[in-house]
Structure 1
Amino acid sequence: MTVTSLDIVEAGAGFCDVFAAIHAESFEENERWSSSAFQSFFETPKTFALIALMEGEPVGFILARLIADEAEILTLAVRGTGRRRGVASTLVRTLQDHLKDINIIRLFLEVSILNGPAKALYRAAGFEKAGRRRRYYADGSDADVMVWEN
């Protein structure tokens, strides 16, 4: 099922509390990022976020940073009300479209090898596995490094 009324807009540091709340609903307790953690990301130049609004309510976001002609997805989170409705794929696709517009040639991310749904989402968006980071997460699990080429 996809969302019929979904708006994707750029959002900045003023949304850190919203990002933290959505992140808390989407990740295990030891993986949740606080509002101040999000604030720290926005203090780094060229960090930005896209937020998904369903009927005016925030349901998800994607946080990324630009580095020369490449970019990195720092995190992606969707509330339960937006899951399996196309919110995450719309956020990724909107980010990719934006990156094409500004001539970014490559987009990277890390995803847990244990997170099959996220890996499937990224593969469907054209990402390919480029490597592995051993014991990347707090629980000791590995991460696949994935890349999308523009």
Structure 2
Amino acid sequence: MSVAEALARLHARAFAPTGRGWSIAEFSYLIDAPHCHLAHETHGFALARVIAGEAELLTLATDPEHRREGIATRLLTQVERRVAEAGANRQFLEVAQDNPAARALYARAGYAETGRRAGYYARPGGTPVDALVLAKDLIA
């Protein structure tokens, strides 16, 4: 199984049933891009990209059977270090307003809300949910 296939499978599990898992083609494109940075381990991964001194955390996924083991915290720390080494001074991300576990993770890691995208995340059979835009200054 390729790295892109493994990431796509894990992403689908991590975001079911509220989100759409990314495709193998999407992961292949991103992990091959020179400005993208991947931190991964067996049960999770974080993917970010750096452009013009800013980083964007594209996605962070943990296998649902291995949550609350510190995986997401380790991966977030690793990807922050990698993007800072690549020249990013600040990292942004989006998180669904209705995801208290992820919001708590990012708050513990020092991210603060800088904006909101109303109705950004579609929910199957439900009302769309706002995306909170969070940011953190990075130290190389």
| TM-score, L = length of structure 1 | 0.81
How many residues align? The count is 132
| TM-score, L = length of structure 2 | 0.86
Q: Per-residue displacement from partner, 1:38-95 (whole Å, max 9, x unpaired)?
A: 123235441121111xxxxx21000111111110011110113431010000001112
1:119 is aligned to 103
Answer yes or no: is 1:38 the counterpart of 2:48.
no
Q: Per-residue displacement from partner, 1:78-125 (whole Å, max 9, x unpaired)?
A: 113431010000001112222333331100000000000000000101
Question: 2:8 aligned to 3, 13, 20, which one?
Answer: 20
Q: How does 1:1-150 map to 2 (within 5 A)?
A: 14-29=2-17, 30-42=19-31, 44-52=33-41, 58-139=42-123, 140-150=128-138
Q: Does the aligned pair in 1 maintain the 2:49–2:83 contact within 8 Å?
A: no
Q: Does the aligned pair in 2 maintain the 1:31–1:138 contact within 8 Å?
A: no
- The code of the aligned residue for 2:69 comes to R
**SS class of match (1:109):** strand
C-alpha RMSD of matched pairs (Å): 1.6
Q: CA deviation at 1:31?
A: 1.5
For structure 1, list consecutive stretches of 5 or more residues without a partner in the other structure. Answer: 1-13, 53-57
Q: Does the aligned pair in 1 maintain the 2:48–2:58 contact within 8 Å?
A: yes
For structure 2, list consecutive stretches of 5 or more residues without a partner in the other structure. Answer: none
